[in-house]
Amino acid sequence: MSDVVPAGTVLAQLADLPDGASREFVLGEGSWPPSGFLVRIGDAVHAYLNKCPHALRPLNFLPDRFLSPDGELIQCTAHGALFEKDTGLCIAGPCVDESLRRIAITVQEGQVRLAETLDVAGLERWPR
C-alpha cells in the first residue's frame, strides 16, 4: 500500500460533479483506504477528508451522500453535526467550532486534481 498520493492525481471529472452535488474519492489503496469528498458550489469546488472531527468516523453511510436534505450544509450521518460547505466549519452538533480537514485541490482542464502530494498516514492523524 502506498502512503503517498501524488500531486496532480485526478479525483473526479468536473462534469460528473454538478452544482450543489458531493462526490466521494478514495485516497490510497488497501482494504479500508481513507477517503475524501468534493462539494461543488457554482464554479468553486471544495475537498475534505471524510472524517468527522467529533468521533473521527466517516461522515456518510451511503456513497456520495454528504449533504443535509436541503443540500445547504454538509451533514454527518452519525451524530447530525452540520458543516458549512465552503469552509468545513461545524455550526451545529457535537463539534461546534471545529472544522473538517481540508484537502488542497485544483480544477484543470475539466478535472479536479490534488494540488499537492498527500501523505495519507499524516492526513489521517488527528488533531491537525
Q: Residue 57: which CATH number?
A: 2.102.10.10
SS3 state of residue 20: coil
Taking a C-beta distance cutoff of 8 angstroms, is the pair 93, 76 a contact?
A: yes
Domain range spanning residue 55?
4-124
Sign of CA dihedral 69, 84, 60, 114: positive
Can you give the pTM of this predicted structure? Answer: 0.93
12 C-beta neighbours (distance < 10 Å), count: 21
Q: pLDDT, tens digit, for every residue of 39-77? A: 999 999 999 999 999 988 999 999 999 999 999 999 999
Report how many domains make up the chain: 1
Helix (H) or strand (E) holding 108: strand 105-108
Residue 80 has pLDDT above 60, yes or no: yes
